């Protein structure tokens, strides 16, 4: 069994707290490693070291910082297969899905190569007699990212790459369930030329999280995870005067109009609902067909596609559709929701409860499930399941379908499938959800746009990656300057009106 570590001051460092967490192989259920859980004192020491290192890094010109990002991208491409295998081994994703996880993080690193342009301030010549005004975007100092298990490469890069490009030092607290890839990313960033101490990886649990939130030298915190924890982190960080950007849960609806291409819609739902075993905050977990005829046609298309899904370990080949859930607790929770859905009266039209994979009986695999005739009052509709379970909610009209998505407490992502441009434009304009797909099932924006949900899916007023990330990880300083030719009239004791 492998003993993992932290990454402190440019190298791996053993934990000193004496506390550890098990890291499982989700396919077999076996413990394959253990990761140290940092104490508050260890976290504080990492912050102090980062604070000292940030001074020089913040003073490094943006072009040189961008060159580190450029080299980091090259190294990510070089080590793509190695990173993907480590990710799949701890998370359970298929190898193609693991590579997609890394690729979407890599694209943010590519965007951050443009930091010199994104960090330019503004200038006003002759704002008054002999007076110039200009603004500068400067780093916050030490910032932190608390990232989830479901994207152990992508989301750490979404946080750390813009933060570092802006001149901050960064404390990464990754999920203790799959910590190897974040450690590998830190090593690649170091190889790319990042100075010692500028990026620290501190593994831990709630003790480390609270230490981040309470440390006076951590100036900003980014988080992705469940809504209750997102709300907790946002409130505690904000109360401590920190800038906070916290993203929570989701219940993403896909409206299917009567004029939609049903084969296209069914294919999109299967990929968006069951990919990565449903462990995605942008997974489509609710299909909302408009009209019973549309619902009957859609369910008829879905059933054979879902029944043909290949579930297995990443080692079984690239034709595996999805792998296991991340832990035994996750499997138990998802199957508990399935039982609750049956109890509440939903029709379970594809039943994956008896799924068994020969040779992997102790793994955390869950077969695909499809519910029909789900209603708003059911727990499987209200709550995020985070597993391979798709619910079909039948809507009588377009307005009814729209209301389902708009009235839900979550507002992360949504989609509509239709051939009608007017309906699509109306949907995009009216929906109160942060990311919208039109005939696109998982509308994750590319790196040069921003990612973020509304309502109980997002806390804070700036999104992840894109231009918002550079706003979040910097603060604006405005300078008013006058260079007189000499003091002719003595001192002034009142505000001078600008002409």
Q: Are the C-beta atoms of 414 and 251 separated by less than 8 Å?
A: no
For residue 75, what are its two tokens? 């190294």
Can you tell me the distance from the alpha carbon of 316 to that of 94, in angstroms, rounded to the nearest whole number? 9
Can you tell me the distance from the alpha carbon of 234 to that of 227, in angstroms, rounded to the nearest whole number? 10
Can you tell me the distance from the alpha carbon of 478 to that of 459, in angstroms, rounded to the nearest whole number? 27
Q: Give the DSSP per-residue string, 302-333.
A: HHHHHHT--B--GGG-TT--B---SSHHHHHH
- 135's enclosing H/E stretch is strand 131-139
- Helices marked H in 119-226: 154-165, 180-191, 206-214
Q: Are the C-beta atoms of 112 and 457 separated by less than 8 Å?
A: no
Partner residues linked to 144 by β-bridges: 171, 221
For residue 450, what are its two tokens? 């921003």
Residues 3-39 as b/e (b if ≥16 CB within 10 A, e otherwise) read ebbbbbbbeebebebeebbebbbbbbbeeebbbbbbb
Q: Which residues are known to be catalytic? A: 281
Q: Are the C-beta atoms of 271 and 441 separated by less than 8 Å?
A: yes
Can you tell me the distance from the alpha carbon of 51 to that of 68, in angstroms, rounded to the nearest whole number? 19
For residue 280, what are its two tokens? 């995605």
- Helices marked H in 250-397: 262-274, 292-307, 328-343, 379-382
DSSP assignment, residue 290? B
């Amino acid at each position: 069994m492998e003993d993992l570590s932290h990454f402190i001051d440019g190298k791996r460092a053993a934990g000193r707290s004496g506390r550890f967490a098990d890291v499982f192989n989700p396919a077999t259920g076996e413990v394959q490693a253990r990761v140290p859980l940092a104490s508050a004192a260890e976290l504080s020491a990492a912050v102090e070291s980062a604070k000292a290192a940030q001074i020089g890094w913040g003073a490094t010109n943006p072009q040189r910082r961008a060159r580190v990002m450029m080299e980091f991208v090259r190294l990510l491409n070089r080590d793509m297969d190695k990173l993907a295998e480590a990710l799949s081994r701890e998370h359970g994703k298929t190898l193609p899905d693991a590579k997609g996880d890394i690729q979407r993080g890599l694209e943010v690193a590519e965007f951050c190569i443009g930091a010199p342009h994104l960090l330019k301030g503004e200038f006003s010549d002759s704002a008054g007699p002999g007076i110039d005004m200009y603004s500068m975007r400067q780093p916050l100092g030490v910032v932190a990212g608390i990232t989830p298990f479901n994207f152990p490469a992508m989301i750490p890069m979404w946080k750390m790459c813009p933060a570092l490009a802006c001149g901050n030092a960064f404390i990464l607290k990754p999920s203790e369930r799959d910590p190897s890839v974040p450690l590998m990313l830190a090593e690649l960033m170091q190889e790319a030329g990042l100075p010692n101490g500028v990026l620290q990886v501190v593994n831990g649990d709630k003790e480390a999280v609270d230490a981040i939130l309470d440390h006076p030298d951590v100036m900003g915190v980014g988080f992705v995870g469940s809504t209750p924890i997102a709300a907790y982190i946002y409130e505690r960080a904000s109360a401590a005067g920190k800038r906070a950007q916290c993203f929570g849960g989701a219940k993403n609806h896909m409206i299917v109009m009567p004029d939609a291409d049903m084969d296209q819609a069914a294919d999109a739902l299967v990929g968006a609902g069951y990919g990565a075993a449903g462990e995605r905050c942008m997974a489509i977990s609710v299909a909302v067909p408009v009209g019973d005829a549309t619902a009957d046609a859609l369910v008829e298309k879905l059933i054979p596609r879902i029944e043909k899904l290949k579930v297995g370990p990443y080692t079984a080949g690239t034709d595996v559709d999805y792998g296991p859930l991340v832990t035994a607790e996750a499997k138990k929770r998802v199957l508990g929701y399935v039982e609750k859905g049956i109890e509440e009266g939903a029709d379970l039209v594809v039943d994956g409860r008896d799924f068994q994979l020969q040779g992997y009986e102790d793994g955390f695999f869950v077969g695909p499930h499809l519910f029909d005739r789900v209603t708003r009052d059911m727990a499987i509709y209200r709550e995020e399941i985070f597993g391979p379970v798709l619910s079909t909610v039948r809507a009588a009209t377009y307005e009814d379908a729209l209301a389902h998505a708009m009235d839900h407490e979550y507002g992360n992502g949504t989609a509509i499938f239709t051939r009608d441009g007017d309906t699509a434009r109306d949907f995009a304009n009216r929906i109160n959800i942060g990311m919208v797909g039109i005939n696109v099932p998982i509308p994750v924006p590319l790196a040069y746009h921003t990612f973020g949900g509304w309502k109980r899916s997002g806390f804070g007023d700036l999104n992840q990656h894109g231009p918002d990330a550079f706003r979040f990880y910097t603060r604006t300083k405005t300078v008013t300057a006058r260079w007189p030719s000499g003091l002719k009239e003595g001192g002034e004791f009142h505000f001078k009106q600008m002409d």
